Each structure stands twice: as structure tokens, then as C-alpha cells.
Amino acid sequence: MTKVSWLLLFACLGAGQAQAFCWVRAGQLHALEPELLQAIAEVESALRADAMNYNTDGSRDIGLMQINSFHLPRLRAQGITEQRLLDEPCLSVEVGASVLAGFVSLYGYNWTAVGAYNAGNAPDRQTARLRYAHKVWKRYQALTGSGVAPASLQGRRADSDRLRSRSAEFNQEPPG
């Protein structure tokens, strides 16, 4: 879809519908449940697109999905700046989905990958990963309801079944 087509689509949609579209689109691009991405954003920024947090290590977490400034050099090569992450919530969701997809490739589609989104993948960060995953799990359960297929995937049975089978672990509380 061209950039003009996307702009026309957003012009026709209300703000809530456009935001829902962002979760679904990023989920489809990276084979992730939109509700999982939304749960992460709720934990990370309380759904604030302009959120900015400063970490003790000198890095910053930017925008809706709190993209760590560690990623900025790689993102700049793609034309993505810190300001764009703050100004374009859908872009933040897509970048966040890309970061999560990287951890899913490393750990599998599970709570360890979700925890790594926030705590990184250093071996000594396992406790922090599980603590973060537990927060996301609570939000994810509130968004999906126990055992209910994500509403955004209903009507697309094959996609819904595939993601639901991949994410069976997400219906159970993270360990620890």
C-alpha cells in the first residue's frame, strides 16, 4: 500500500479505529498477537505516544512502545528518528513489534521473549524479565479474557488458530 493510501485510510478512520489498525497491522507484519503488543504498550507507556523515560544507564525509552535509544543508530538507517517515534504512534508500534519479533526469534513465542523486550537478554536479567512478563500477562489477560481468541483475529480462522496455538503459554501466568 502506498504512503498516500495509508494517509487516506487514516483520514477516513476515527482515532480509535486507526489505533486498532496499528496493532493489527504490526501484529500481521511480525506474526504477533495485536493484544500482546497493546498489553506491552500499556505497561511501557500507559498508551502515551509522547512518553519519554530516562534510564540510569544513560539511555532513553521513547514513545508509545518505549523504544530504547540503543536502537536509534539502526533505525536512523531506515529513516526513523527519535522525533518520528514520538510523533507517529503507529511507527512506534511497528518498531516495538520488530524488537519483540527479534526476541521471539531468539527465545520462541513465550514469556521469556516478552520479558526480554524490557529487560534485555543478559543472563543475569532473568528475574527482571519474569517480573516484567508478569505485568504484561495481567494486561494481556484483561485484553483477551481467558481462553478467548483475540477479537482482531476473529474471522481469520487460520491466523487465529496459528497464533493461538503459538501463544498457549500466554494464557498461563509466567513462572516466578
Asked if 63 and 48 count as a contact pair (C-beta separation under 8 A), the reply is no
Indicate the pTM of the whole model: 0.78
pLDDT in tens, 25-83: 999 999 999 999 999 999 999 999 999 999 999 999 999 999 999 999 999 999 999 99
| Integer CA distances (angstroms), 84 to 24, 42, 89, 148, in order | 20, 20, 8, 35
pLDDT in tens, 158-172: 343 444 455 556 666
Length of the chain: 176
Question: In the chain, what are the domains?
Answer: 16-171 (1.10.530.10)
